[in-house]
Amino acid sequence: QVQLVESGGGLVQAGGSLSVSCTASGNIFRIDGMGWYRQTPGKQRELVAIITRSGETNYAESVKGRFTISRDNAKITVYLQMNSLKPEDTAVYYCNAQLFPSRREYWGQGTQVTVSS
């Protein structure tokens, strides 16, 4: 029903910046919230940032002030600008979309972000 395709990711030095993006296709008119989650081996997937169609945002405390999430409602694309990156930010980053009114969730394939010391 909804397909999410991510781009970006890669290797960056500590203190540097990186951005990732995610474009949705399919039943895009049912999408409400979009966001980014991340996961490392042995850990549960955790919220990084989410943004609603109206522009309301929510960030994990660990990234607040460093990361910025935004979206283009016409293209149904969500972006994550990551600044002041730390080695602890190394993870696979996953795009997420929630539909209304069902609240069903869809996930992207994930993109690797690696921050070197």
pLDDT tens-digit readout, 2-13: 999 999 999 999
Answer for the pair 85, 12: CB distance below 8 angstroms, yes or no. Answer: yes
Q: Model confidence over 69-112: pLDDT tens digits?
A: 999 878 889 999 999 999 999 999 999 999 999 999 999 999 99
Answer for the pair 36, 94: CB distance below 8 angstroms, yes or no. Answer: yes
**What is the C-alpha end-to-end distance of the chain, expressed in Å?**
40
